[in-house]
Chain A
Amino acid sequence: MDYKIVIGLEVHVQLLTQTKLFTACTTEFNPDAPNTQTQPLCIALPGTLPVLNRHAYELAVKAALGLNCSIAKFTKWDRKQYFYPDLPKGYQISQYDMPMSFDGWLEVDDADGHKKKIRILRAHLEEDAGKNIHDESGRGEDSKVDLNRAGTPLLEIVSEPDLSSAAEARQYLDELRLIMQYLEVSDCNMQEGSLRCDANVNLHIVQEDGQIAPTPLVEVKNLNSFRNVEAAIDFEVERQLEEFQLTGRKWGDPGVMKETRGFDANRGTTFAQRGKEDAADYRYFPDPDLAPVTMTDEEIDAIRKTMCELPADRRERMRTVYELSDYDREVIMNHSPQLSDYFEETAKISGDGKQAANWVTQDVLRELNDRDLAIDEFPVRPVVLGAMVKKIVDGDLTVKSGREVFAALLETGLSGNSLSPATVDQIIEEKGLAVVKDTGAIEATIKEVLSRDQNAKSVEDLKGGKQQAAGPIIGQVMKEVKGADAKMVREMILKIVQDS
């Protein structure tokens, strides 16, 4: 059966503010000390009133600009009303018909490798709910409510249904996360719930008569990792296909409603959720406690000016300025803006982007992973790594010796000593790793090694043009002359054999 997958994503991103959206209460992630981060407003105590956090609004504008959205000149706040224990006011302050931004887009690569624009319908600000902790004993005991998170600022980003595969959805999310991280709008830490995703999925099935039959729309809620988003979409595609073959039910048929499903990460399956009661009737109305926000072009421009380079621009620069492979570039950029900064500094100091990228993507990332360190905690700073890489670039240090130096630097740094470019020289000196440029000494050693009985066969082979016979000889020479450049040794051996 021929069909097209239609996916729209709703992403909630927690903004990096000190305080909640409408009250001066801290937003720190602190699930181990429940209900210690509330103020009267967070508990919806009678008489409390919301006052908008300016920084949250500015971050939202920045994020929206990063998503190529238009910024509303006038926006207002609406109450979305429903009863739930994690929603103490009985309504969520959100934006209904006049969101603060709209009409944006992001680019992904489609299946043929072409750039594809994914339209963004809107991005609006709203407050987060608290957290319900369900009794899983099966004994029907009370659920628990923690309001630490209640009122944290969220940006809800709603895409048009332009995504056609799980892979595109993944790319969209990767790019969205990068934008938020590069703009320092959100840390998008999924473990801490600062990025959450709902996926709307259905299929457009081409029937025998050429007519398109859309399957009933499904919203998979609360996907807490990008992998789960992909898995949920893949599962839904199969499930909806099967269901359609079985029932023939179409979106738009009488009685067909949007279905809300959950995702079981252990099984990789989605499951039907009992619909939130009255889901269809949130009774949105403008919040009389909050003033609307207006923005002039000048104010929007002022925020635009505070924005750093967007990931798409940076990616382009990485390609042209540092001549990175696509692979290296994605590894660095997708890791974090901090690693990108780290790389760029290293590349600048060393004067060689490719060499720097090798060190960053292999050695630095390996150590970060092994030691569970964030890049900001990594003791070998770019000024030191760059100095070391420069020595390699200049031919003063071999790559192999560089590994030793790097290990020594790391050890020194981790034991609490401060590092500087001078430390690099010091380690090279101590370990005698400097490239020996005294060709006389190397030549003498080569001649001595060549004259060894054990090498007679190799010398014969070399004379006969078998260049690979140089290998064992290079090894022996290098053993004698520490810090010699293997490439140079190889060339000298060949020349000496030829000349003899």
Chain B
Amino acid sequence: MLSEDDIHKVAELARLNLSEQQISELRPQLSKLIDYVAVLEEVDTDEVEPMVHAIEQTNVFRDDIRSPPLPREGALANAPKTDGKYFLVPQIIEH
């Protein structure tokens, strides 16, 4: 069973503000899933290469040729907060 602390840690990594109720629901659900997927432990994979892509291709490139950018209005059109030039975010505190 995942601990409440585990859930908090993962929620913080994932940037989710979970309520106490959500945590109490998620804890058994995730624990059950984690227990379920542990079945993979029984598979011998010592000599097996991980398979990242469904179809394995290499060296997919494009040429270094420009195409037009979005107009600024288009770039900012869907943003929740802008000043018409920049995306605005709550103050970033660096130090």
Does a CB–CB distance below 8 Å link A and B in the complex? yes
Where the two chains meet, the residues of A that have a C-beta atom closer than 8 Å to any C-beta of B are 17-19, 24-26, 33-40, 43, 45, 51-57, 76, 83, 85, 132-135, 140-147, 262, 271-274, 277-278, 281, 283, 286, 288, 290-294
Asked if A274 and B93 sit within 8 Å, CB to CB, the answer is yes
Report A113 CB to chain B, min CB distance, Å.
40
Asked if A294 and B58 sit within 8 Å, CB to CB, the answer is yes
List chain B residues, Cβ under 8 A from A55: 63-64
Contact with A along B59-92 (1 / 0, CB 8 A): 1111111110111100110100101011111111
B residues 1-46 in Cβ contact with A at 8 Å: 12-13, 15
Across the interface, B64 reaches (CB within 8 A) one of A53, A277, A286, namely A53
Asked if B69 and A36 sit within 8 Å, CB to CB, the answer is yes
Asked if A85 and B89 sit within 8 Å, CB to CB, the answer is yes
Across the interface, B86 reaches (CB within 8 A) one of A53, A133, A281, namely A133
6 contacts between A and B (CB under 8 A): A26-B69, A34-B72, A38-B69, A134-B92, A134-B94, A144-B87
List chain A residues, Cβ under 8 A from B63: 54-55
Asked if B70 and A54 sit within 8 Å, CB to CB, the answer is no
Across the interface, A147 reaches (CB within 8 A) one of B53, B87, B94, namely B87
Asked if B61 and A37 sit within 8 Å, CB to CB, the answer is no
Asked if A145 and B65 sit within 8 Å, CB to CB, the answer is no
Asked if B62 and A52 sit within 8 Å, CB to CB, the answer is yes
List chain A residues, Cβ under 8 A from B61: 51-54, 57
Asked if A53 and B62 sit within 8 Å, CB to CB, the answer is yes
Report A54 CB to chain B, min CB distance, Å.
4
Asked if B85 and A291 sit within 8 Å, CB to CB, the answer is no
A293-B64 contact, Cβ under 8 Å, with A38-B70, A39-B69, A142-B81: no
Instruction: Give CA–CA (A290, B69) in the complex, Å.
Output: 22
Across the interface, A293 reaches (CB within 8 A) one of B52, B58, B66, namely B58
Asked if A134 and B53 sit within 8 Å, CB to CB, the answer is no
List chain B residues, Cβ under 8 A from A135: 91
Instruction: Give CA–CA (A85, B70) in the complex, Å.
Output: 20
List chain B residues, Cβ under 8 A from A294: 58-59
List chain B residues, Cβ under 8 A from A274: 93-95
Asked if B86 and A283 sit within 8 Å, CB to CB, the answer is no
7 closest A-B pairs by beta carbon, nearest first, are A144-B86, A55-B64, A54-B61, A145-B87, A142-B88, A24-B67, A291-B60
List chain A residues, Cβ under 8 A from B89: 85, 132, 142-145
Number of B interface residues in the complex (CB < 8 A): 37
List chain A residues, Cβ under 8 A from B58: 291-294
Instruction: Give CA–CA (A36, B73) in the complex, Å.
Output: 9
Asked if A142 and B53 sit within 8 Å, CB to CB, the answer is no
Asked if B75 and A43 sit within 8 Å, CB to CB, the answer is yes
Report B80 CB to chain A, min CB distance, Å.
11
Beyond contacts A144-B88, A145-B86: 11 other A-B pairs, Cβ-Cβ < 8 A, are A18-B66, A36-B71, A54-B63, A54-B64, A85-B87, A142-B81, A143-B89, A145-B88, A288-B52, A291-B58, A292-B58
List chain A residues, Cβ under 8 A from B76: 35
Residue of B nearest to A77 (CB): B52
- Which of A33, A36, A271 has most chain B Cβ within 10 Å? A36
- Which of B50, B65, B66 has most chain A Cβ within 10 Å? B66
Across the interface, B90 reaches (CB within 8 A) one of A43, A142, A286, namely A142
Asked if B62 and A24 sit within 8 Å, CB to CB, the answer is yes
Report B89 CB to chain A, min CB distance, Å.
4
Asked if A18 and B86 sit within 8 Å, CB to CB, the answer is no
Asked if B83 and A35 sit within 8 Å, CB to CB, the answer is no
Asked if B65 and A40 sit within 8 Å, CB to CB, the answer is no
Residue of B nearest to A25 (CB): B69
Asked if B57 and A291 sit within 8 Å, CB to CB, the answer is yes
Instruction: Give CA–CA (A18, B63) in the complex, Å.
Output: 10
Residue of A nearest to B93 (CB): A274
Instruction: Give CA–CA (A40, B77) in the complex, Å.
Output: 12
A35-B95 contact, Cβ under 8 Å, with A19-B65, A142-B88, A291-B59: no
Report A42 CB to chain B, min CB distance, Å.
8
Instruction: Give CA–CA (A267, B83) in the complex, Å.
Output: 34
Asked if B94 and A34 sit within 8 Å, CB to CB, the answer is no
Asked if A291 and B53 sit within 8 Å, CB to CB, the answer is yes
Asked if A35 and B86 sit within 8 Å, CB to CB, the answer is yes
Residue of A nearest to B78 (CB): A45
Asked if A278 and B91 sit within 8 Å, CB to CB, the answer is no
A36-B64 contact, Cβ under 8 Å, with A271-B95, A274-B94, A278-B12: no
Instruction: Give CA–CA (A447, B87) in the complex, Å.
Output: 84
Instruction: Give CA–CA (A51, B60) in the complex, Å.
Output: 7
Residue of A nearest to B83 (CB): A144
List chain B residues, Cβ under 8 A from A76: 52
Instruction: Give CA–CA (A292, B59) in the complex, Å.
Output: 6
List chain A residues, Cβ under 8 A from B12: 277-278
Report A22 CB to chain B, min CB distance, Å.
9
Instruction: Give CA–CA (A277, B64) in the complex, Å.
Output: 36
List chain B residues, Cβ under 8 A from A262: 94-95
Across the interface, A40 reaches (CB within 8 A) one of B64, B70, B90, namely B70
Residue of B nearest to A292 (CB): B58
- Which of B12, B69, B72, B83 has most chain A Cβ within 10 Å? B69
Report A44 CB to chain B, min CB distance, Å.
11
A51-B62 contact, Cβ under 8 Å, with A134-B92, A144-B86, A146-B86: yes
